[in-house]
Structure 1
Amino acid sequence: MSSPETSRVRRWVRRVVRTTALAAVLAGVAVVVPDSEVASTEVSFVKVERAQGVDLSPDVVWILAIGSDARPWEDKVKTRGDALQLVGIHTKTGAATAIGLARDSYVDIPGHGRNRINSAMVFGGPQLQARTVAGLIGIEPDYVMVARFEGVEGMVREIGPIQVDNPYAFSDVNLKKEGFRAGRIKLGWYDALAFSRIRKGLVDGDFGRSANQQRVIRGIHAKIVAEQRKPGFIEGGVAAVLKHTHTDASPVELYRIAQAITQVKANKISTCVVKGSIGQAGSASVVFPDVATARRYGNDARKDATIKRC
């Protein structure tokens, strides 16, 4: 591809490929990626003001990863999230899970009636978004991560190509005309973004896209685990987060999360997507989530960050 064409594609991607939940998970992974390129304006890591009497295991850290739908001039923590992933990491056993949520899921938003789940960020920022997700799944996050598109680009460039297991071939005329073949494939920064953003051509649409985001997350984790033995890797990563990310979490908290991420075992990762039915709420097309299944995922994973079956 020529240089002008590359520039054109990148500009187009910046318009169309709005940051996904993958971006926020990448931001979380920044804890263990020394000297990340992600700018301080691209990532926010917010500690959730916990409700009284919340039943959670002290050994499991829950992070709500949100990709900001914000334009460059907008506040990313006050705009709709493009997609959401609730990530749980067990700090002792090496287990981890990710529960994907469709951005158009029609749910109760505390104090604001029923609306699309990602509207909670507009109404009340990360704190209300966390409470809204908790209302659906039954798990209240400890932290909320929010990142823009540039956060994804910088992080994948920093980590380098990853590998994912693609269940079937698919393509998109705009994002990836030649498409992705089925099987074990390698993804650079652009392909990782396209793989996690394509919806058309997928068997499950938005639900399939959320599952692909989780596949990319697995690939990123595997790459990080391969690098963790380098001297000072975790310490340098925490320093990078403090330097490049707006956060109210302490260095001790970040170090704990960093250690937990690097200790996650590939055979103890479980990922599921909360599916539902497509319908109408007034004139809006929405997803009516399967609440019973969402609660089952939450009940399964609450204590040990493990979902037995999707």
Structure 2
Amino acid sequence: MALAVVAVLLLVALAWPVGLLVWANGKLQRTTALSGGADTAGTTYLLTGSDARGEEGGIAEDGTEGQRTDTILLLHVPRSGPTALISLPRDTYVEVPGHGGAKLNSAFAWGGAPLLVQTVEGLTGLTVDHYAEIGMGGVAHVVDAVGGVNLCYDGAVDDKDSGMVWQPGCHDVDGTQALAFARMRKADLQGDVGRALRQRQLIGAVVAKVDPKALALRPGAQVALVDAGTSALTFDEDTGVLDVARLAVAFRNANGPGGITGTPPIVDMNYRPGNIGAAVLLDEAATPPFFAAVRDGTLPPGQVGGVPGG
């Protein structure tokens, strides 16, 4: 009888994570995104963050209608060398296939994930292997599911637009406070680059809080986290739950001491090429070798790029 009980317990212990994986895989939201372009070395993820509250369906200052994406991150795992997480400012001036020169996030407004992927591939020379779209509103539920996170910001903030109220330093926050932290832009001297940095910090804090050992004996917490995560995220048509796990590991590695974080080489945060408003201009000469070094894993770990003169 005792052996039978042990056998049942072992069966449950083995079947639970398998069942959870099958269940989680079935809950993943997917969208058509990938270009089908020739593979480039390593694995490249394109992560977008959208706060639909302010911009979805709206009209931007450049006259572009449709859904917008506030944060665009390129996460690359080379065959050897450090993992890199590069923030692409949403207002980066780029060539959008079929549309000419425009801001990067206009590609998403005009053609959704597929056109954004093609535009990023043209800018970086890297083929996107996996795409993930993060609804910032859903991130609040994920933060609550992991029991809150610790976030840091050096400035004092009382921003009515985002709801962020902050004293300089690091604070433990819940989902509502974390969402305000991610939304704030106007009170940040670095504008959208600063917001991208804080959103990246928030996602990194969530990833760091997900401790597989701590969750192993808490099936309820596992279910709550998977439920919140799959509600907040949409992936490309080829992504499975194991790819999501690899993405999380890559994100953690990029934000660790051996990883690379930052932006491409920026020369002007107030570039005005025409009637599209202020754009971010990348260094035309330095950008291609920068992304080649990201691809090849030859950049040293640490911070790269940033606001010119900042």
Common topology (TM > 0.5): yes
- Contact 2:164-2:180 at 8 Å conserved across structures: no
Question: What are the Cα deviations for residues 205-259 of structure 1, in whole angstroms up to 9, with x where unaligned?
Answer: 22112112222222112101465661698x96997599756655457x4214314
- Contact 1:84-1:103 at 8 Å conserved across structures: yes
- Contact 1:45-1:249 at 8 Å conserved across structures: yes
Q: How far 1:127 moved relative to its partner?
A: 1.3
Q: Does 1:56 align with 2:17?
A: no
Moved more, 108-117 or 78-87: 78-87
Structure (1 or 2) with the larger CA radius of gyration = 2
TM-score by length of 1: 0.68
Q: Residues 259 and 295 (structure 1 numbering): CA distance in 2 closer, same or farther, change over 3 Å? A: same
Larger RCO of the pair (alpha carbons < 8 Å, separation 6+): 1
- Which residue does 1:300 correspond to in 2? 293
Among 240, 257, 260, the alignment partner of 1:267 is 257
Q: Which runs of 5+ in 2 are unaligned?
A: 1-19, 58-65, 305-310
- Contact 2:48-2:70 at 8 Å conserved across structures: no
- Contact 1:109-1:120 at 8 Å conserved across structures: yes
- Which residue does 1:173 correspond to in 2? 159
Identity of aligned residues (%): 20
Letter in 1 for 2:291: G
Q: Residues 180 and 88 (structure 1 numbering): CA distance in 2 closer, same or farther, change over 3 Å? A: farther
Q: How far 1:130 moved relative to its partner?
A: 0.7
Q: Does 1:214 align with 2:219?
A: no
TM-score by length of 2: 0.68
The whole-number CA distance in structure 2 between the counterparts of 1:187 and 1:180 is 11
Please give the secondary structure, in 1, of the residue aligned with 2:196: helix
Q: Residues 142 and 213 (structure 1 numbering): CA distance in 2 closer, same or farther, change over 3 Å? A: same
Moved more, 269-278 or 292-301: 292-301
Question: What are the Cα deviations for residues 7-59 of structure 1, in whole angstroms up to 9, with x where unaligned?
Answer: xxxxxxxxxxxxxxxxxxxxxxxxx99999xx97xx6455513213x4222xx
Please give the secondary structure, in 2, of the residue aligned with 1:104: coil
Q: How far 1:87 moved relative to its partner?
A: 2.1
Please give the secondary structure, in 2, of the residue aligned with 1:268: coil
Equivalence map 1:82-101=2 (5 Å): 82-89=70-77, 96-101=83-88
Question: What are the Cα deviations for residues 146-167 of structure 1, in whole angstroms up to 9, with x where unaligned?
Answer: 243432222222222112343x
Equivalence map 1:30-45=2 (5 Å): 44=30
Please give the secondary structure, in 1, of the residue aligned with 2:210: helix
- Which residue does 1:5 correspond to in 2? none
- Contact 1:80-1:121 at 8 Å conserved across structures: yes
The whole-number CA distance in structure 1 between the counterparts of 2:214 and 2:299 is 23
The whole-number CA distance in structure 2 between the counterparts of 1:242 and 1:165 is 23
Among 167, 187, 193, the alignment partner of 1:201 is 187
Q: Does 1:290 align with 2:282?
A: yes
Equivalence map 1:187-266=2 (5 Å): 187-225=173-211, 230=216, 244=231, 247=235, 249=237, 253-259=240-246, 261-262=248-249, 264-265=252-253, 266=256
- Contact 1:34-1:236 at 8 Å conserved across structures: no
The whole-number CA distance in structure 1 between the counterparts of 2:120 and 2:215 is 35
Q: How far 1:185 moved relative to its partner?
A: 2.4
Among 129, 137, 145, the alignment partner of 1:158 is 145
Q: Does 1:113 align with 2:100?
A: yes
Letter in 1 for 2:295: R
RMSD: 4.1
